[in-house]
Every structure is written in structure tokens, then in C-alpha cells.
Amino acid sequence: MSLSSKMSDILYLLFSKIINLYYRLENNSKSKLCIIGSKSKLYQEAKVINLQNNPSKIVIGNNSHIRGTLLIYPYGDGISIGDNSFVGEGSIIRAANKIEIGNDVLIAHNVTIIDTDSHELDAGERAESFKKMLKEGHPKQPGNVESKPIFIKDNVWISYNVGILKGVTIGEGAIVGAGSMVTKDVPAWTVVAGNPAHILKSNSGGGYNIDY
């Protein structure tokens, strides 16, 4: 092996070690922003944005795997995720009020779950709040921005590119089809899809029967 080849191998190994160290340090930093259970993992692409700087406001149970973004506002009760659950890459969970996700929940990629309107409905008030935020940072209180908690029960499967809006409860065992916009409660053990999401199938005897 030539000297140049040996140097290339050495540089490659050194670079790999530096990159691995960087990701370990980054993961440790993310872990300090939440409480994370045994065998759970925040992957390289995961983000944790804790604007309350209170780890107890983002709680992840045991053996859950997070590839998306968890964000809590400077107010509210935060985010809790149960055991054996998954949040896919590109998914964003934003809590200004409270978002509770149960056990054995599968959330695919590019899902948005948000419990707040994010801005005021009045145009003038919204414009002034935006300008104030640019100067002073994110507001410490919700003001006139409405929010309502979201509850996602055990054994739910949420497919890709789904939106879930404030005040929604998704019942146990429900399935939300790809590309759906969920604006109201989803009964347990049903399959919903569409914009707005509506029931396609309901559970009967352990299976899903069409119920248009």
C-alpha cells in the first residue's frame, strides 16, 4: 500500500471518529432537554426544542424511538410519549398546551401535530405580535392565541403526511390514513382518511369492516 493510500485511510478514520464524537455530544445535549426512558433513543436527525428549559416538560417512555422534532413553547404542559412508540423523520410535534401520546403508537414521517393556532386570528394583532416576536423573542404567554390539548391513545398508527390539529383525541387502536387532516376526534378502533378526515372502516370482532 502506498504512503498516500495509508494517509487517506488514516484521515478517513480520524474524520469518522470526529463525526461520531460530534453526534454523541449532540445527542447528549438533546437528552438534557427531556426525560428519556430506558432503551429509548433520539436519533441523529431528531431535534428537541425546549423553550421552557425544563426537562420534565418533555417525557419519553421506555423503548421509544424519535427521529422527528419535539418542540414545546415557553408555556403549557408540554409533550409526553409512552413506551414502545415511534416518531418518524420530518415529523413535528409542537405543544403550546399539552400533547399526550400513548404506548405502542406509530407516527410515520412528515406528520405535523400541533395543539395551537400559532397566531392570532385578528390580522392587525397578528402583525403586531410578529414584529414584537422578532424584537423580543417568543412570547412567554399565549395571549389571544387559542390552544387545546391533543391526546393520542395506545396502539394508534398515524401514516405519513398527516396533520393533527388542536383539541383532537385519537382513540385507541385507530389508524389515520396518509395525507389526512384530522380536525375532530377519531373513535377508537376505526380507520379514517381524507381532508377533513372521516371514518372509512370500523372495528368489528377484531378486524376492520368497511363502514361508509
Helix (H/G/I), strand (E/B), else coil: 22: helix
Q: Is 109 a catalytic residue?
A: no
Neighbours of 181 (CB within 10 A): 16
Q: Which one from 65, 109, 119, 198 is the annotated catalytic residue?
A: 119
The one-letter amino acid at 193 = A
**DSSP letters for 130-186:** HHHHHHH-S-SS-TT--B--EEE-TT-EE-TT-EE-TT-EE-TT-EE-TT-EE-S-B
* CA gap 185, 36 in Å, rounded: 28
102-105: Cβ within 8 A, 24+ apart: 102/152, 102/153, 102/154, 102/155, 102/156, 102/172, 103/61, 103/154, 103/155, 104/154, 104/155, 105/81, 105/152, 105/154, 105/155, 105/156, 105/157, 105/158
Write out the catalytic residue numbers. 119
